[in-house]
Amino acid sequence: MRRGKSSYMKINLKELTINKAHESLKKGEYTVTDLVNAYLEVIKEKNSELNAYLEVYDDVLAQAKVAEEMFKSGTATLMTGIPMAVKDNILIKGQIASACSTMLKNYTATYDSTIVEKLKKQGVVFLGRTNMDDSAMGGSTESSIYGLTKNPHDLNRVAGGSSGGSAVAVSANLALVSLGSDTGGSIREPASFCGIVGLKPTYGAVSRYGLMALGSSLDCIGPFAKTVEDVEIIFRAVAGHDVMDSTSVSEDTYPKPISKSKLNIGVPWSLVDQDGVDTKVKDNFKRAVESLEKLGHAVKDVSLPNLGLSLAIYYIIMPAEASSNLARYDGVRYGLHVDGKNLLEDYLLTKGKGYGKEVRRRILLGTYVLSSGYYDAYYSKAQTAREILKQEFTTAFKEFDLILTPTAPMPAWKIGEKSDPLSMYLADVFTVTANIIGVPSISIPSGFIEVEGKSLPLGIQFMAPHDHEELLFAIGKDFEKLV
């Protein structure tokens, strides 16, 4: 119920962090209900234009009351009462999870994903589900069956993808924090385009149980927030072994102590200086490097001879895994079903109408590289190249603590500008590597550039060795002071 001069109308959402919210809630400066209502007001005002949320859950205020009881009973955690948005491919029991696909448009989750289960126990308030590319395949959130999500910095530009809705929810103050998934950059690219922080954890650090699978050896769930500290808090709250996910870490490996304050940072200049990278992005990146050097960090060129093959490796392995994972949606057990003259025609019509162009394109590509006569020529060679790339990074990390690149080779592009799929694939050139080799990676805002009279955000990306997210958090907090 709306009140006259409610305390929730005085909350500065733009400057709010998890710690600030927690302290205010503990002190009774406002309640969880007040905090949630503040975000609901912004959602009501802005979401019709941005299209970040597909749905605001009808039990939000009931969740807030549960969190308030936790504060009263003394069982509240740092995450209790924190309003969070969730990407539409992460399961919450009893809620629709459609992956923004016709195939699963009305699918209602029958169980909680592990990450949601953990956060529920800590009293998080889930505001609603956010927009994304169809089946998480895309880099702009333009392929969603619910329409595109717009960038809050310029409504004529994309938000990035595939987790565009989750990024915009945080950037535009429609949620304090959010969850996304990252298979080749789907957290980090929209974070860069929207001017916020996005983390792709070490593969296996956060359970994938309850995440709709795209590329099973690549997929990760990770957080969006406005600060590195908030991303770290969420990561600490959800990381750890899960018996329901055979690929999750085998034991509690976090946190690892940092033994030094000044870090050795490697930059693959041969990749950064290539022609496809926007000149303004290069200039912004060079300024970021200078800032890191002023902080006392050593930044040097790193040789990674096969780094340029990452995009080719990714666009063989990811479609191959996607074609296998999406085979389960056959219209028999759940999801869309289209009647044909026989069982085969049922399958053909269901698949044809259930998936958009980009999803069908990747399924066909994946089926091709896995087919007889082409498996060895493409898929097997890509896996061999993947192992070589892993070894190159293992060697590089013996000398360097971190690897640094821009997050994306360009700022957010105009809506509809990259209708050619190949040009959109090239936007993943810096992000796919972390997924291929399984290391943690973070995108941090690195300033703004002027484009056609609009101020557009850019990001830089750090990669760390496996299980060393703490290095990303340390360098991120350091760099935030300068931006």
Give yes or no: 441 in active site. Answer: no
Q: Which of 113, 162, 163, 207 is catalytic?
A: 162
Q: Which of 186, 207, 310, 443 is catalytic?
A: 186
Nearest-5° angle of CA 326, CA 328, CA 329?
75
Give yes or no: 162 in active site. Answer: yes
Q: Which of 87, 118, 150, 351 is catalytic?
A: 87
Distance from C-alpha of 148 to C-alpha of 46, rounded to nearest angstrom: 15
Q: Which residues are marked as active site?
A: 87, 162, 186
